[in-house]
Amino acid sequence: MHKIIASPFLTDYLVLRPDSRQAIKIGKNRYAELLGVVSDSAAICPTWLVNAASQRWGIDLSGEKISDTALVRQPSPYGFGRASYELNLGCDPHGMASICKVGRDPKVPLMDEGIGGLTRLGDAADALMLRTGGCSGCALSGSCWTCRPLAKLYQEAKAPLTRYCQHGGR
């Protein structure tokens, strides 16, 4: 098991520790450095990483081989952040990917479809954002930016419009 994970995440680069919610934000050059040395079985953790890991998590990586210590994720050809599940920010229990924690359906079974199944999430997001239910008939429904799955949950809970409606129920 690796002690740390380095990964692109949206427009940033992060170093993560499994079972920790804390991360280290690194620049593109430091990420590229890790990506370049991780395949060298003799390379040890760079000093900047040793210091950062010690400060963030209180772990000592000095003298440890980077290939044994770090899992360095390749950039995704699909443009998503592979670090999301390590950070517990998003989706993918038991290999099921969804667009977010609120809009869990439909799900894409990654174990069956592989990473290519992620390309279907855009259509799922579009379908979830359709103005249906309590917002139909609203004058702003064509340009509303409120998350429809979240608005639906608020409506089911009978929350006041001011909690989720962009124009406050006017």
- pLDDT tens-place values along the chain, 170 residues long: 789 999 888 788 999 998 888 899 999 999 999 999 998 989 999 999 999 999 999 999 999 999 999 999 888 766 655 544 444 344 465 677 777 766 667 777 777 877 777 787 777 777 766 655 556 566 666 666 677 777 777 878 888 877 777 665 54
Q: Are 108 and 152 within one domain?
A: no
pLDDT at position 54 is: 96
Identify the domain boundary among 54, 84, 114.
Answer: 84
Q: Are 63 and 99 within one domain?
A: no
pLDDT at position 103 is: 64
Phi and psi at 49, nearest 5°, equal -75, -40
The answer to whether residue 115 sits within a structural domain is yes
pTM given for the model = 0.53
The answer to whether residue 23 sits within a structural domain is yes
Q: Are 77 and 110 within one domain?
A: no
Q: Are 5 and 73 in contact (CB under 8 A)?
A: yes
pLDDT at position 133 is: 52
Identify the domain boundary among 52, 84, 116.
Answer: 84
- Per the structure, how many domains does the chain have? 3
The answer to whether residue 168 sits within a structural domain is no
Identify the domain boundary among 30, 59, 84.
Answer: 84
pLDDT at position 79 is: 61
The answer to whether residue 144 sits within a structural domain is yes
pLDDT at position 137 is: 63
Phi and psi at 68, nearest 5°, equal -90, -20
Which residues constitute the domain of residue 142?
129-163
Distance CA 130, CA 149 (A): 9
The answer to whether residue 157 sits within a structural domain is yes
The answer to whether residue 152 sits within a structural domain is yes
Q: Are 144 and 97 within one domain?
A: no
Q: Are 118 and 150 within one domain?
A: no
The answer to whether residue 145 sits within a structural domain is yes
The answer to whether residue 169 sits within a structural domain is no
